[in-house]
Each structure stands twice: as structure tokens, then as C-alpha cells.
Chain A
């Protein structure tokens, strides 16, 4: 099984600033994904982080707002840009190998003032 570490675990940010969340997996994985979970809601997929190429974004999410990097098979970052209070949420990283279960990090709780 893969262990996923996310940093930071929580942060409080000012409106208009940006935050970069890091996701480190303890083994090489084929697929990495970023999700958002608003209070009391289910998870919403933001994008698939592709190694060596641009991320694939879901409807309603754009690269300018949520730039994603994935430089290798164990690491990815998600940046939340030009934040507003509506971006307050939990952001989760997940990863899997092909045909295997998905593992999730414990999440980054973001509050925007």
C-alpha cells in the first residue's frame, strides 16, 4: 500500500494570495489526482496530475486558478491561486497504480479570510 503525505495539513490565508500544497507518495505511482471537499459535502475531482505533461482538468476547474505540477512518479503540487473565501475547503491528494486501489492523503484544510 502507498502512504501519501500532504503539506501543509492546514493553513489560513489572506484573500488574493496563493498557496501551494505538496503531495509526496512513498512509492512510484501511475496516477495522481487532486480533489476538493467543501464542508459537509462529497469529494469533487479537480484534475488528474499527469507526469511530464499538463494536468487534465475537470469541468469547472482551470489551470490559471489551480496550476498543478507533477515532475516525477512520486510527487505533485497543487496551487490555489488568487484565493477568495469561496476557496476555503479541504484539498486532498490521491494516487494509485494501474488497476489498483486509490490511496488518499489526510488533506489540507484551507481557510481564506
Chain B
């Protein structure tokens, strides 16, 4: 399984942008880059995913490096409700049965 590397923790101030980095130097051509987050006492929830191009949705933006060996999740204006553990995961639908293997993630704290 291709692995990802994320910082253990990050801090942000409320209403400021947050850039969460992820390295995945062994990514394969069939790996999609997925981001999930887990709020305290809840199951993980989907945030965003992409393959090669940058992606935007109502929750966040995903910036993918040209060589696909790294990506950045961007929260445009952090709120207190964004405090969570963020997981960057590579998902291979064709060779790994679509399963998600979670790493340790980045614990994001947001200060008022």
C-alpha cells in the first residue's frame, strides 16, 4: 500500500486559511488522493479527493503537485468546528479493492 506522511499536529487561528500538507512519494498512477477528517467522538467524514488536477468543493480545496508526490488540503477560513484529525489517504480502486488505509493524520487545533 502506498504510504502518506503528514505532520502530527498543526495550529491555526480562527478565520485564517489553513494549509495541511501531505507527502506521498510512492504514489502510483491509479491512486486517487483522498482527504477525510474525524471530529471528536464521530466517524470520519469525506472532505475532498482528486487525481491530478486541483479540486474545489464547498468544504475545502485540494492542491496537487505536478509530479503528484505531494498535496495540500486548504481550508480557506478555519472555524472552531474545523478542529479535527485530518487524514490524507491514497485510494486505489483498481488494485486494492478501493479500501482506505489510514495513517496517523494531522490533528488540527483552531484557536479563537
Chain A residues near B (Cβ < 8 Å) = 30-31, 33, 35, 42-45, 48, 56, 92, 94, 96, 98-99, 101-107
Contact of A43 among B34, B97, B98, B102 (CB under 8 A): B102
Residues of B within 8 A of A105 (CB): 43
Inter-chain contact A102/B36, CB cutoff 8 Å: yes
Residues of A within 8 A of B93 (CB): 98-99
Q: Which of B87-112 contact A (CB under 8 A)?
A: 87, 93, 97-105
Residues of B within 8 A of A42 (CB): 85, 87, 102-105
- Does B21 touch A at the CB level, under 8 Å? no
Q: Which of B14-55 contact A (CB under 8 A)?
A: 34, 36, 42-46, 49
Which residue among B36, B99, B100, B103 has the maximum number of chain A CB atoms within 10 Å of its CB?
B99
Chain B residues near A (Cβ < 8 Å) = 34, 36, 42-46, 49, 85, 87, 93, 97-105
**What number of A-B contacts does a CB cutoff of 8 Å give?**
48
Question: Could you tell me the distance between the alpha carbons of A66 and B97 in the complex, rounded to whole angstroms?
Answer: 20
**Known: A43-B44, A92-B43. Is A98-B102 also a contact (CB below 8 A)?**
no
Q: Taking CB as reference atom, which chain A residue is nearest B47? A: A101
Residues of B within 8 A of A107 (CB): 43
Q: Closest approach, in angstroms, between the C-beta of B42 and any C-beta of chain A?
A: 6
Residues of B within 8 A of A98 (CB): 93, 98
Residues of B within 8 A of A104 (CB): 43-45
Given contacts A30-B98, A42-B85, A56-B97, 10 further A-B pairs with CB under 8 A are: A31-B98, A42-B102, A42-B105, A43-B102, A44-B102, A45-B100, A45-B102, A101-B49, A102-B36, A103-B46
Residues of A within 8 A of B43 (CB): 92, 94, 104-107
Q: Taking CB as reference atom, which chain B residue is nearest A50? A: B97
Q: Closest approach, in angstroms, between the C-beta of A94 and any C-beta of chain B?
A: 8
Q: Closest approach, in angstroms, between the C-beta of A36 and any C-beta of chain B?
A: 11
Residues of B within 8 A of A56 (CB): 97
Residues of A within 8 A of B101 (CB): 45
